[in-house]
A and B are shown apart, each in its own frame.
Chain A
Amino acid sequence: MTRSFRLLAGSLVIAALAPMALAQGLDPERAQSLREGHMKLMGLNIGMLGAMAKEEQPYDAEMAAAAAGNLAALGSIDQRFYWVEGSSSEDLEESRALPAIWENMDDFNSKTEALHEAAMKMEEAAGTDLASLQAAMGPLGEACGSCHEDYRKPEE
């Protein structure tokens, strides 16, 4: 499940990018919508984990492991192709990606990597038991938040 999802996610990205030889060639609006898709897929899987963590849904080790595996796979994707110049919140109305991303790309990348690490920790925890899953939610939220703190424009 995890592996096939990883392959699927990877091939989706490749399919989306195939016509573009260079990252700079990606249309900013398309890049923005691809990023949003990536975020929504992460949100979907975090939502499955979160509903169990909050005990709104009964804990199911297999489902939890699947969601966490997806999340780790999404976290592992190299995102360089869709953070193109000209797709910040200053450039596009729908974009909430602050220009600070492009000014601090190294820091931004390290925060992306921190999320990947938190997602891998979740992958270890989620299938173990409910208490482990619940404990891993905090660091995961912290990783999401530390990037959104500096680099996402607040909602209007």
Chain B
Amino acid sequence: MIRRALGAAIAIILLAGGVGWMLTSPEPLPASAVEGPPGDPERGALVFAAAGCASCHVAPETDIGEAPVLAGGMAFVSPFGTFHAPNISPSPQGVGDWSDAEIMDAVMRGVSPSGAHYYPALPYAAYAMADPQDMRDLVAHLRTLPPSSQENLPHEVPFPFSIRRGVGLWKALNLRQGWVIEDDLPEPAARGRYLAEALGHCGECHTPRGPLGGLDHAQWLGGAPNPSGDGRIPNITPGGLEWSEGEIAYYLGTGFTPEFDTAGGEMAAVVSELAKLPDEDRAAIAAYLKAVPAIEPAAE
């Protein structure tokens, strides 16, 4: 009797372990998403700007400019530890030896060439919704940028978050399968949704996070504490932002608020990249921001 109970217990543990192992297994993109026409580096430059890659992957205290050196090294402090942006320049220390599919798996699935999980400091939960053709263009552009031989810094992440396999569970909960704002949006708001939710990953800073570090979709873009500890990242839903669409679009292109104060902090780098996009794209983001449900400031 005891032996049978023990046997059952062992079977349950093995089963749970097996299910857990399957649930946390890194899953690359399907081949159908990777295959397609070759990337166009010129189009990719715009995707690169919209996705804000350089804002995090240039060396600390370096201006982005026209052809940024993506040497990495910036530190990102979080409740789970401190992450260091890696070198993603086209060099042996960066991603120069990776195939296009390997880079796409990293960006859209958070899976490394050796099949390990990346931490979601890389916003792959958002990039998962990117158009694969845009990603091929992005990779083509990345390969035109200057190489850097900078070695990567290890992340400073304490146990239990140091077990990368656990990131698989986070992905099962947070890797996006659809839009956050599911409504049928008219153009240009639909284009804006693509730019804001997928490439621009606005929600990563403007949406509060739950205890496991996933974004709280019920508070989408409703503002959040600043991870740097200084002040709050603002609520940019119609409940928090009273600017007109034109004012939002102008801010995204020049950094000037309607009162002609300017963007500061991390947003200054975001604006200088968004300024490279065509006017219609900034207008599209503004239209999308008017279409998201208002989060009342009291609920922040």
Contact = CB atoms under 8 A, between A and B. Distances in A.
15 contacts: A46-B260, A54-B246, A54-B250, A141-B254, A142-B255, A142-B272, A142-B275, A145-B262, A148-B268, A149-B269, A152-B265, A153-B231, A154-B231, A154-B264, A155-B231
Contacts of A43: 259-261
Interface string A37-76: 0000001001100100010000000000000000000000
B263 A145 contact: yes
Interface residues of A, number: 22
A148 B260 CA distance: 13
B260 A47 contact: yes
A141 B61 contact: no
B151 interface: no
B232 A156 contact: yes
Contacts of B254: 137-138, 140-142
Q: How would you classify the secondary structure of chain A's contact residues: helix, strand, loop or mixed? A: helix
Contacts of B226: 154
B177 to A, nearest CB: 33
Interface in B249-280: 250, 253-256, 259-269, 271-272, 275
Contacts of A137: 254, 256
A150 B74 CA distance: 14
A141 B250 CA distance: 11
A13 interface: no
A146 interface: yes
B230 interface: yes
Contacts of B256: 46, 50, 137, 141, 144
A141 B262 contact: yes
A144 B262 contact: yes
Contacts of B275: 138, 142
A156 B223 CA distance: 12
Name the residue in B253, B262, B267 with the highest tally of chain A Cβ atoms < 10 Å from its Cβ. B262
Given A43-B260, A54-B246, A141-B271, A150 B61 contact: yes
Interface of A: 43, 46-47, 50, 54, 107, 137-138, 140-142, 144-146, 148-150, 152-156
A14 B232 CA distance: 38
Given A142-B255, A145-B263, 16 more contacts: A43-B260, A47-B259, A54-B246, A137-B254, A137-B256, A138-B253, A138-B254, A142-B272, A142-B275, A145-B262, A149-B267, A152-B264, A153-B230, A154-B226, A154-B232, A156-B232
A61 B271 CA distance: 28
Contacts of B231: 153-156
A149 B269 CA distance: 7
B63 interface: yes
Contacts of B255: 141-142, 144-145
Nearest to A142: B272
Given A138-B253, A141-B271, A142-B255, A148 B262 contact: yes
Nearest to B226: A154
A148 B253 contact: no
Nearest to B269: A149
A64 to B, nearest CB: 14
Given A138-B275, A156-B231, A148 B264 contact: yes
A106 to B, nearest CB: 12
Nearest to A89: B230
Contacts of A141: 254-256, 262-263, 271
